[in-house]
Amino acid sequence: MTIKARTEYTEAIVLKLVRSNLFKNPIMVAVYIILEYFMVSVSINAIRQAISEEWPVFLAAIFAVIFPLIIPCAILATPKFAAKKGNALGAVIAYEFSDQEIIIDAVTKTETTHIQIEYSLFKRVCETKDAFYLYIQRQQAYVVGKTDITEGSALDLRNLLMKNSAEAGYKYITKGMKKSEEDG
C-alpha cells in the first residue's frame, strides 16, 4: 500500500516545530536559567543601591521589572525569527510512504531535493491531533499534516508508521490526542 501526502510548510507549522524543540536542548535550558538568575540578581542589586544612595526609586523599580523580562521576550521572539530566516518556510514537501521507505520530494526557496529514507533512520515519530512529526534527528523533523494526505488516510499512515516502529526500532508517541482519536 502506498500513502501519499503533500505538505506546505506554512508559518504556523514551522513555528510549532521550532517552539516544540526550543527547550529540548539541555544546554539551552541551562543558559536560560543562568541568564535569568543574572538578570534577577542585577535587578535586586539595583533596588538595593537605589534605596541606599537615594537613587530615584521609581527608576530602580522600572529597571527591576523590565530587565528580567528581556530574556523571556527574546526567547518568545526566537521561534518567529527562526521561522522567517530558515529555509523551511514556504517549502512544499511531497511524501510517498511505502512498506520499506519514504520518498520525499522537497522544494524550498533555494533548492529541490529528492531523497529516500528508510524507516530505520527515524529517531521517533510523534502523532498529534493535526499532524505526524517524523524525527530524523533529535530536533529535526518532517511534518505531515493529516489533512495533507492525498492518497490513503491518516489511519493508514498511523498503522504503517506504528508497524514500522516495531520493526525499525524507533519510538512512536502520541501527544494531545484523546483515547478515541488514538484508537482511530
CATH code for the domain in which residue 115 is found: 2.30.29.30
Q: 171 versus 68: which is more confidently predicted? A: 171
Residue recorded with cell 529514507:
117
| Same domain? 37 vs 118 | no
| Same domain? 119 vs 51 | no
State the average pLDDT over residues 156-163. 93
Q: pLDDT band for position 12 (50/70/90)?
A: confident
Residue 15 within any structural domain of the chain: no
Strand partners, 140: 137
Q: In which domain, by residue range, is 34 found?
A: 21-85
| pLDDT value for 154 | 94
Residue 76 within any structural domain of the chain: yes
Residue 14 within any structural domain of the chain: no
Rounded CA-CA distance 95/72 in Å is: 37
| Same domain? 175 vs 130 | yes
Backbone angles phi, psi at 54, to 5 degrees: 55, 35
Rounded CA-CA distance 77/15 in Å is: 10
| Same domain? 139 vs 152 | yes
Q: Calculate helix-pair angle for 26-52, 70-85, nearest 10 degrees.
A: 140
Residue 119 DSSP one-character state: G
| Same domain? 155 vs 178 | yes
Strand partners, 7: 93
Q: 17 versus 124: which is more confidently predicted? A: 124
State the average pLDDT over residues 3-10. 91
| Same domain? 176 vs 126 | yes
Number of domains forming the structure of the chain = 2
| Same domain? 70 vs 95 | no
Please say if the pLDDT value at position 85 is more than 60. yes
| Chain mean pLDDT for the chain | 79
| Same domain? 144 vs 110 | yes
| Same domain? 74 vs 102 | no
Domain boundary among 47, 67, 85: 85
Residue 16 within any structural domain of the chain: no
**Structure confidence by residue, pLDDT tens digits, 13-44:** 777 776 666 666 677 667 777 777 777 777 66
| pLDDT value for 28 | 67
**Structure confidence by residue, pLDDT tens digits, 39-69:** 777 766 766 666 666 656 666 666 666 766 7
- Cβ neighbours of residue 29 under 8 Å, at least 6 residues apart? 23
Residue 160 within any structural domain of the chain: yes
| Same domain? 108 vs 79 | no
Classified as helix, coil or strand, 178 is coil
| pLDDT value for 34 | 77
| Same domain? 146 vs 93 | yes
